[in-house]
Amino acid sequence: MVVAVVLASLLPTAVHASPIVEVSKLKGDLTISAATSLTDAFTELAKQFRKVNKGVKVRLNFGSSSTLIAQVQSGAPSDIMASADLTNLEKLVASGNVVVTPKVFARNTMAIAVKPGNPKSVRSVADLTSLSFIALCGKTVPCGVYASSVLTRAGVVIAESKVTRGIDVKATLSAVANGDADAAIVYRTDVSAAKKTVVGIDIPSAQNVKAMYGIAPIRGSKNPANAKAFIDFVLSEQGWQILKSFGFQRP
Amino acid sequence: MSTKKRRVGAETPPFVWVGASCALLFLLLPLVGLLKRVAWSGIFGAVTSGPASEALRLSLITSVVATMIALVLGLPLAWVLARIEFRGRSMVRALVMLPMVLPPVVGGVALLGAYGKSNGLIGGWLFDVFGLQLTFSPLGVVVAEAFVALPFLVMAVESGLRSIDPRFEESAATMGLGPSERFRKVTLRLLAPSLIAGVAVAWARALGEFGATITFAGNIEGRTQTTPLAVYLLLESDPEAAYALSFVLLAICVAVLVAMRGSWMGRRS
């Protein structure tokens, strides 16, 4: 409730643009599979969506995009897929699990996370080579693929024997926040969400990547109307304001 | 044993048969599902490939070491719990069993709280004084595995010690055997079946450890990435290798159960 009130006061234009008076007639379930890096933003989006669509029971299923894609392909019931990259969504298009072209709804970048006070004085991607242990996402997880691109663009090579691989972005960041990893390369939004436990170091855009987030309804969904309504909400101005408040950028 | 030839099934109500069949089916179906997915032709190549074979090697070494630690530490603890009366014994026993019921990830978080280099209770001291860092090291994997395996060994050995008739040891004492000799020649022999069973379950538990390991020791290829961790990560990038590794783990566990049959299950029935 408090969060909602604070958000509403932060977003006067959005609230005025779409006054929440009408209550939709939508009913039933809505299962949304979303990338771990969307956890906070989608939890809030779902909360606001429910205010208008009181009849819809929203279930959020977070995981690494690659895991979620595998779940959908093996028939796990899901109405919407929101991925942290477009490559994984294209796999769903290729396998026929998505029939419409996925919509790009947000953009993210990568940042370095270190322990509070930056004890190892990390200033750049190149400084990572001098550290003992680096946390990166799994090689097939989008944040792991993006981290590899960052390292390649920066011309930095880190021995695999110094890399601990997290199963998703939150687990990867946790290796720095709660464990003994010296640094992690994760999404900028996750660094700011965890600002009590880690400190972020920006990666210059020449070395950085543009992580594009895509969303699409799943073929064979039992709740296509609900799925369409939620996707429209994410793409609406109100939805964008919520995403923006969590640090996402315009695609 | 004499009751074996009683009218078998005569008094068994039908719901028992139905329930038991369902339970068996429930347990076996996933195993059949796993076997169906294994690509048998490529299994050797999948298991001997770089990351998979490294993970298997690491798993075997760490689980054996962890089991030895569990044995060395667990046997005395089981002895104390089984044979020495003291206040708060049931409390101590409950604490010892805690890692069995604790979600393994929570166990990993707890291990970080104790042995983590940057914010563990004694982790910083271990590093400063001995240069020892458990996190992200194979030794950390051993610690995580021993932490979850130890209670299984203690439980099996404690119940074994309780079931030994004290008269055997008493008569050995009257024959002039000292405590150590008595332990070696009498107690240990009577205890052997429970000890073997305890070692086997502790080892199987150590071999399958996932949550505490990935949380505490991390997931570094060739260093802390054990077979269960490799299975989980390979499921996305190389499912065939993941199924092959799963099958190897399954085969090892079946082999352990078969080997244990004589010493544990066989003698109790």
Nearest CA in chain A to B138: A161
Mean pLDDT of B148-153: 96
Report the CATH number that the domain containing residue A163 is assigned in CATH: 3.40.190.10
- Give residue A1's pLDDT: 44
CB contact at 8 A, A80 and A218 = yes
Alpha carbons B213 and B53: distance in angstroms, whole number: 18
pLDDT score at B2: 47
| Distance separating alpha carbons of residues A185 and A211, to the nearest angstrom | 13
DSSP state of A249: B
Domain membership flag for residue A90: yes
The answer to whether residue A251 sits within a structural domain is: no
Q: Over the stretch A73-116, which tens digit does the pLDDT of each residue have?
A: 888 889 999 999 999 999 999 999 998 889 999 999 999 999 99
Task: Report the C-alpha dihedral over residues B168, B173, B176, B179, rounded to 10 degrees.
Answer: 110
pLDDT at A22: 61
In a domain, A43, yes or no: yes
Per-residue confidence (pLDDT) for residue A23, from 0 to 100: 66
Q: How many CB pairs under 8 A join A and B?
A: 68
Using CB atoms, which residue from B117, B235, B237 is nearest to A180?
Answer: B117
Whole domain around residue A73: which residue ranges?
2-107+212-245
Look at residue A13 in the predicted model and tell me its pLDDT: 47
pLDDT 10s digits, B156-165: 999 999 998 8
SS3 A244: helix
User: A171 and A87, same structural domain?
Assistant: no
Taking residue A22's Cβ as centre, other Cβ atoms within 10 Å add up to 8
**In this structure, are A189 and A238 located in the same domain?**
no
Q: A230 to chain B, minimum CA–CA distance in Å?
A: 28
Across B141-168, average pLDDT: 94
**Are B220 and A164 within 8 A, CB to CB?**
yes
Count of structural domains within chain A: 2
CB under 8 A, 24+ apart: contacts of A220-224: A220/A97, A221/A78, A221/A79, A221/A80, A222/A28, A222/A29, A222/A77, A222/A79, A223/A28, A223/A29, A223/A30, A223/A31, A223/A79, A224/A79
Residues A99 and A6 in one domain: yes
Three-point CA angle A241, A245, A251, nearest 5°? 65
Stronger pLDDT, A16 or A143, i.e. the higher one = A143
Average pLDDT, chain B: 89
Does A138 contact B233 at a Cβ distance shorter than 8 Å? yes
For residue A170, pLDDT beyond 70: yes
Residues A98 and A124 in one domain: no
Q: Is residue A48 part of a domain?
A: yes
Query: Measuring CA to CA, which residue among A110, A114, A99 is closest to residue A179?
Result: A114
- pLDDT confidence bin for A132, thresholds 50/70/90: very high
Phi, psi for residue B135 in degrees, rounded to 5: -65, 145
Domain B65-223 belongs in CATH node 1.10.10.10: no
Cα B85 from chain centre: 27
Does this model's pTM top 0.80? yes
Residue A207 within any structural domain of the chain: no
Query: Residue B11: left (phi > 0), alpha (psi -120 to 50), or beta?
Result: alpha
Looking at the fold, whether A135 and A164 belong to one and the same domain comes out as: yes
Bridge partners of A61, per DSSP, are: A33
| Whole-number Å distance between alpha carbons of A30 and B190 | 60
Strands A110-114 and A199-202: antiparallel
Residues 101-120 of A with CB under 8 A from B: 115
Interface membership of B235 toward A (CB under 8 Å): yes
- Report pLDDT digits (tens) over B4-31: 555 655 688 889 999 999 999 999 999 9
Give the pLDDT confidence of A33-69 residue by residue, as tens digits: 999 999 999 999 999 999 999 999 999 999 999 889 9
pLDDT at B7: 60
- One domain for residues A53 and A95: yes
Q: Are residues A68 and A146 in the same domain?
A: no
Of chain B, the percentage scoring pLDDT greater than 70 comes to: 93
* Cross-chain residue pair B136–A133, CB shorter than 8 Å: yes
Give the relative orientation of helices B123-130 and B104-115 as an angle to the nearest 10 degrees: 50
So what's the pLDDT on residue B183?
A: 85
Q: How far apart are CA A226 and CA A54, in angstroms?
A: 12
Examine residue A250 and state whether it is found in any structural domain, yes or no.
no
In the block, which residue shows the tokens 């949380």?
A: B215
Q: If you ran DSSP here, which 8-state letter would residue A102 be given?
A: P
